[in-house]
Each structure stands twice: as structure tokens, then as C-alpha cells.
Structure 1
Amino acid sequence: MLIDWPALSARCDHAGIPLRGGFHPRDDDGVPPAGDLPAGTLVLLGNAGPSMWRAFSRAREDAPDLALDDWTFAVVSALAAELGAAALFPFTGPPYWPFQRWAQRAEAVYPSPLGILIHPRFGLWHGYRAALVFPERLSLSPRDDLPSPCASCADRPCLRACPVAAFSPGNYDVAACVGHLGAQAGAACMTGGCLSRRACPVGQEHIYPEEQRRFHMRAFRALHAPAQRTRSST
């Protein structure tokens, strides 16, 4: 199925999981075939600001225990079947697909001092939830190669904001972060979201709503806390 970029973008917006850019794969990109055909185009889907959260929240009105990964898988799998594409996800595997590398091929995003990718417009308030691989070589939207906002940020407030100094250049102390989240002193991070992420001045108008920030912090702690408990008991 041939589809132009504006129509694809509108269809993804309607499904609640916005289009985040795309590229024509090279041999070294590690993009798998689209079914039985070589990959012609990879497009990334995800969130930028709170738009995806609104769609996910509506789905949870009828299923309060619905997991974000399950919702993403269902929505994107249906899109892939409709559009004649293959669906890939960062949370299934192995193999685990190189979504961070693909993101930097797809649009102007850059590693931040916190380790996550920063967008010149959305700051740290965005993410990648899935990819669609098309056998066709689709016409892509022109890429806006704005520079990294971190390159001109001398103060680095993100590194100073963490109460337990979990972030340093090239390092993220996950154990210190998770331990803080489990303590009473970590309530501000658990309820309002990571203080370091919130300290970044870029994209403040796109910050996630508080409910979404709490949701992600609970999910992060649940993922990492069991491993921390195992380490502390040995």
C-alpha cells in the first residue's frame, strides 16, 4: 500500500500514537525486512508532549488495568496490518531493536547529560513506542536539523537537580535513584516526576501532565526495585 507522509501522519494521530520521523534504512541500520521484502522505509511512532497519554487514558476508562505496552502493541499492530507494514517495539525481545540509534536517524534528537535523548522543541518530554517498517520507499517529511540545545547550555541544571546525584557525565547510578524513590525523601520525584528531567528548561510547555509523570515513575520503580532488593540482600 502506497501512502504519503501527511496521510500517514494523520492516521497515526487518529490512532493516538503520533509519527516521530523516519528514514530509508541502510545495511548498517539493523532494520529487519518488512515481511518477505527488504525494508524500504522505517518510521517511528511515540509521544511528544501529552498527546499519546490522552489516547491511552481514554482506553483505560474501560480497562483500568490496561498496561501501556499492551495498549501500544494492540494499536500499532492494527496500524501495521492496515498499512501493509511490519511492527517493531522497544519492549519486546530479544532481539531488542536499537530505537535510540534509529531515533537519531529519523529526526534531530541528541544524547543529553541524563542519557536520554533531547529534542530541540520537546526537550526531554517525548519518547519512542514503536516502529513501522514498509517495503516501499516512502517520501519523507523534510528533516529539521536543529542543533542540540545541550550544546549551548552551560549551567546544566539537570545534573544539579537530582537529590542523590545519580547523574554524572557518562554515568547513571540506577541503584541510587531507585533507592531514593523508595524513601520518604523521594516523594517529590515519585509524584511529580524526575527532578532532573523537570529542571531542563527546554520544552517546558510540553511537559507531561502530573498523572502521566506519576505513572512513568511507578513503572520505572517497579521495573528496577526487585533487582535492587536482590542486590541488597546478598
Structure 2
Amino acid sequence: MEDTTNLSQKADASLYNGQPIDTGLSCPSVGLTSCTPSISDDVRYGVSVENVPAGNKQWFVLRVSYGRITKAKTLVETNALEYYVPMRYKEIKKRGKKRIVTEPLLPSFIFVHATAEQVEALLHDNKVATNESSPLLSYYFDHTIHLQNNPDRNPPLTIRNEAMNNFINLTSLKNPHIIPITSNNIQFKLGDNVVVTEGEFKGIHGRVARIAGQQRVIVELFYGCLVATAYVPKEAIKKTIF
């Protein structure tokens, strides 16, 4: 967790607003988007990833070993790959003063936009140090399907560009009430597919659920990876097919 107390509103936002260079500073906004120079302005500011797909690049979900997200980002940057690490902003009181702190929203994952060959090379460069028991990065596998040439194995999980776009749009918003959840947090079964039609979350696609006594919209990027909006009134959503 990083304390941003002494940063002004005009502090260099390159780490958390998705600028190309990681300065180690942050500002009160949500969402660390892709941090390599080649990424477009739209993606950096969480607007869209629709213009990103090129060649056979895909969004890979890579697992990060415990407590090493910063080191993982450095490794990906060293390999000049586009990536996304959503951040969560929290307001706390310390010595009677309000402070903004940041922490990874999903500290066990980093999302890398690259070709399969680039990701394979990245993981090959993912050396285990003598004082480390596990690799820094590893594939997160898609347990819903199996490899055609090896029925006992699952392929690496990749995310559709449309789904990743929706996820970035949500997690880049400056709202401390956006939270990661598990199925245990949801009081009612996930309901209708909806799109938010107005307000801060306008354009976000997901499913309706009731969490902590509030109606929210749940975005599920892949099985077990769910993020909830803040409260959304029923007047601001409509049913859709997504």
C-alpha cells in the first residue's frame, strides 16, 4: 500500500493514470492502465481498448506470486509489453487527517496484451532467484476448456477485447466504492444482464446483484474474478444481451 498524502492534485500521475513511465508517484484517481509507450492515449486513460488489437495479440491473465506485483510490473516493462494493473483507492484517517492510499485491486494478477510468443518469452525470462520458492509470473489457465492435442491440460486464459475494455472502463473510474468481490459477498444470485445508462458508470455492462444492502452491477472478467460498481439506481440500468 502506498501513502499519497503529500502529493498535490497536479502530481505526476504516470503510475496510476496510465502514463508510459512508472515514477512511483500516484494521484487520487483509480486505475493503473497499460504502462508502455506504445499504448494509445485512449487505453492509457481507460477509455477504450478497441483500437489496441494488432496482429495476434491477446489479453493474457498472468498470476503474480504473493506480494510481488511491483516487481512483476517492472519485468513486463523491461520486456516492453503493454499491460494493465487496476488500482483501488481508499480514503483513510491518520492523525485526524484524511489521506488517500492506493493498493492493487487484484494483487494476484497482471493483464498483459501481447502475442503468445511474447508471453512465452516473458515467462522464460521469469527466473526464480535463489531466495525465492516460486516464479514471479505464471500462466493462469482456463479451466473451462481443454487443449485439443492434450485433453488433460488447460490452455492459458485470455480475455476478449470487448470484455477487457468493459473491465478497464469500470476499474479506471475515480470511485473508492468499486470493490473486488467473491460469490460469498453476493446476497442474491447474479441476475439480469444490464448496461448502465446514466451516471458515473454509464456504458458499463454486467449483471445485477445486491451487495451490502445495495443494488450494484457486477463485472465478471473470468470465473472467480468479479468487481462491483458502487450503488446504481434501477432507473439508471436497462436489460441487455452481452
Bucket of the pairwise TM-score, normalised by the shorter protein: under 0.3
TM-score, normalised to structure 1, is 0.25
Higher strand share: 2
TM-score, normalised to structure 2, is 0.24
Higher helix share: 1
